[in-house]
Structure 1
Amino acid sequence: MRAVVYTESGDSSVLELVEREAPEPGPGEVRVRIVRAGVNPTDWKFRAGGMGKLAFPEIVPGQDGAGDVDAVGPGVTDLAVGDRVWTMLAQHTRPGGTAQELVVLPVANVAKLPDAASYDLGASLGVPAVTAHRALTTSEDGPDRLAPGALAGTTVLVAGGAGAVGNAAIQLARWAGATVISTVSSDEKAVLARAAGAQHVVNYRDGDTATAIRDLAPGGVDLVVEVAPAQNLRLDLGVIRPRATIAIYANNGGDEVTLSVRETFSTNARFQWVLLYTVGQEALRAAAEDVNAAVADGAYGVGDEHGLPLHHYPLERTAEAHAAVEDGAVGKVLIDL
């Protein structure tokens, strides 16, 4: 089978297309024939050495993918050969991710793909959708699961609504009944955030962002899905209501934040850090179930019409796909197998 591998940290040039023997599933595992693989910022950050030294001598990148089960190991009863599926955290504790034709994974890292969903959509779930689900379900006064009406009466502020996680957060929050405000950096990105479902979009490069958000939510927002805390935390503290949650899932714009103790005390705010690798299996499974329900309801999609343009690369151009994500491609980068 064909696989893309790297054996040392570095830029995208360390990626190499090779032939490898097809792996066999063990107890509690399935083998998935990947049709489409997703590329996330974590993929190039792992490859570049930003997450520490390599965990294995040879690594196939890729957390997310979609395809068909083509073999099952002993004890597997929930999945069968021929099932269409999508993956979560495929490369987290294993050397083999989704940038290969066949990948073996524990059943806990695989979810059935709803009948109406494309492989493009399946490969775009994983990291973005599960991260967004976690960010939306950890509030003191909010739900721990998403469903229609679960966020009714809630105002959610999504920073960076044109990004993959921001897009997912908008779609899931709207499906669950929230009012969504999104901040963006351009008119073009505003179009994408609105296509995802945001009722209100604020260009933070035009005028006073805090005033614009407060005009839309005079009582303050209930929940912030934050991608750039170093840049936005003072803004967030200025627009939340008491007991709101600021869910932080990335460090865009800097690694350090400064908090005013008095200012933060006054909000009774909750800061929720979101990193999928340590959220636990219960949270991952809840997210997979709820995301699948949104997809089955037709409330979650990809492509221009859903505010998430798709960019396709063949497997042999995986290095270009990584470089595109690293360079800030707007939308979702996919690898076609």
Structure 2
Amino acid sequence: MKAISYSAFGPASQVLHLVDMRKPEPAAGEVRVALHFSGVNPSDVKARSGSRPGVTKPAFDQIVPHSDGSGVIEAVGAGVSDTRIGERVWIWNGQWQRPLGTAATHITLPAEQAVPLPEDVSMETGAVLGIPGLTAAHAVFGTGEVRGKTLLIHGGAGTVGLLAVQLAKWGGARVITTARGKGMARAAQVGADTVLDYTDPDLGAAILAANDGALIDRIIDTEFGVNAALDAEVITPNGVIAAYGSARDMSPTLPFGPLLFKAATIDILLIYLLPPPQRDAAIKRLHAALGDGALVCPVHETFALADCAAAHEAVEAGARAGAILVDTRP
């Protein structure tokens, strides 16, 4: 099989290489998937660049990156029904704590990590459902229904943010989101009730004004460190701050007093570690929203497998209007 691999940290153009590898046979409980698309996420880029704190070398001698993807099951191991052969699937945790991810023509992994893809959902969308889709679904619905509540979604023009806006509206919430420039229009187009410029010096007041002066029930945050004080200001008592990112400030100083007297819950999300019941619930939410036509997963650009380094560079550049995919088909 063809695959992209790296054995050392560094710039994408220097360390990512197209290689030939043996196609792995599925062991008991596993399936082999002929991949159509691989999703490239910021976590993949950080892992390859070596920018994670305290990590000085790759965990394996040779790594095929990426955790998300879509394709068709072509072989199964013992204990897996052969009726799954030919099944369209999407992948989660493809390269989490294992060396071989989805930046390849094939992947072999535990059968439960290959989720049946609804027939009316495209393979491109399937490759976005892993990290972005599950993060958005759990961030919105992680503590239950949101109908009648107000959600503040920071970064509503990002890949996760756009999905979260749509899922929250589908769930019956009022949605206030932040973005900037062209991203403001994108967030509005997918259903946000109010879109605010996150550089507004009076953003807290603008958020409350958009909610008729009331405090916010649930906050979904892509930059928790930067927004912690603002979140404490606008969250309602006993509200939840669901934080899935803090790249600009990884060691934030928390406003403990304001958070204490709101009895706020800070729910830090790492979708790789989501327990099975919560993951199953998030998958069901995603499939239901897709079935209702309430969820669109935009793709900014698709690259050939041989151009995987350029795909990583596109993620690093930011300012995207959707996901970055790699076409893995032979």
Q: TM-score range by the shorter chain?
A: over 0.9
SS at match of 2:132: helix
Structure 2 residue ranges without an equivalent (≥5): none
Tell me if 1:30 matches 2:31. yes
Q: CA RMSD in A?
A: 1.4
Mapping 1:121-136, distance limit 5 Å: 121-136=125-140
Q: Greater CA deviation, 74-83 or 37-46?
A: 74-83
Tell me if 1:189 matches 2:179. no
SS at match of 1:292: helix
**Which residue of 1 is the match for residue 69 of structure 2?**
65
Tell me if 1:316 matches 2:317. no
Give the Cα–Cα distance (whole angstroms) in 2 for the partners of residues 206 and 45 of structure 1: 29
SS at match of 1:9: coil
Tell me if 1:8 matches 2:19. no
Q: Closer, same or farther in 2 for the Cα pair 1:267/1:105, shift >3 Å?
A: same
String of CA shifts for 1:72-97, please: whole Å, max 9, x gaps: 11111396111111000100022110
Q: Does the Cα contact within 8 Å between 1:108 and 1:281 map onto a contact in 2?
A: no
String of CA shifts for 1:132-155, please: whole Å, max 9, x gaps: 12222334xxx1xxxxxx321111
Give the Cα–Cα distance (whole angstroms) in 2 for the partners of residues 120 and 275 of structure 1: 23
Q: Closer, same or farther in 2 for the Cα pair 1:79/1:254, shift >3 Å?
A: farther
1:235 Cα shift?
A: 1.0
**Which residue of 1 is the match for residue 173 of structure 2?**
178
Give the Cα–Cα distance (whole angstroms) in 2 for the partners of residues 55 and 260 of structure 1: 36
SS at match of 2:267: strand
Aligned match for 2:323, one of 303, 310, 332: 332
1:196 Cα shift?
A: 2.2
**Which residue of 2 is the match for residue 205 of structure 1?**
199
SS at match of 1:69: strand
Give the Cα–Cα distance (whole angstroms) in 1 for the partners of residues 83 and 64 of structure 2: 24
Q: Greater CA deviation, 192-201 or 30-39?
A: 192-201
Tell me if 1:76 matches 2:80. yes
Give the Cα–Cα distance (whole angstroms) in 2 for the partners of residues 198 and 78 of structure 1: 44
Aligned residues: 322
**Which residue of 2 is the match for residue 146 of structure 1?**
none
- The code of the aligned residue for 1:48 comes to S
- The code of the aligned residue for 2:48 comes to R
Give the Cα–Cα distance (whole angstroms) in 2 for the partners of residues 78 and 246 of structure 1: 43
Give the Cα–Cα distance (whole angstroms) in 1 for the partners of residues 78 and 168 of structure 2: 38
Q: Does the Cα contact within 8 Å between 2:233 and 2:258 map onto a contact in 1?
A: no
Q: Does the Cα contact within 8 Å between 2:228 and 2:255 map onto a contact in 1?
A: no
SS at match of 2:196: strand
TM-score, normalising length from structure 2? Answer: 0.94
- The code of the aligned residue for 2:220 comes to V
Tell me if 1:45 matches 2:46. yes
1:30 Cα shift?
A: 0.7
Q: Closer, same or farther in 2 for the Cα pair 1:108/1:174, shift >3 Å?
A: same
SS at match of 1:50: coil
Mapping 1:233-244, distance limit 5 Å: 233-244=228-239
Aligned match for 2:286, one of 277, 286, 291: 291
Tell me if 1:168 matches 2:168. no
Give the Cα–Cα distance (whole angstroms) in 1 for the partners of residues 196 and 248 of structure 2: 19
Aligned match for 1:255, one of 242, 250, 253: 250
SS at match of 1:18: strand
- The code of the aligned residue for 1:102 comes to H
Give the Cα–Cα distance (whole angstroms) in 1 for the partners of residues 82 and 201 of structure 2: 53
Q: Closer, same or farther in 2 for the Cα pair 1:329/1:262, shift >3 Å?
A: closer
1:286 Cα shift?
A: 2.0
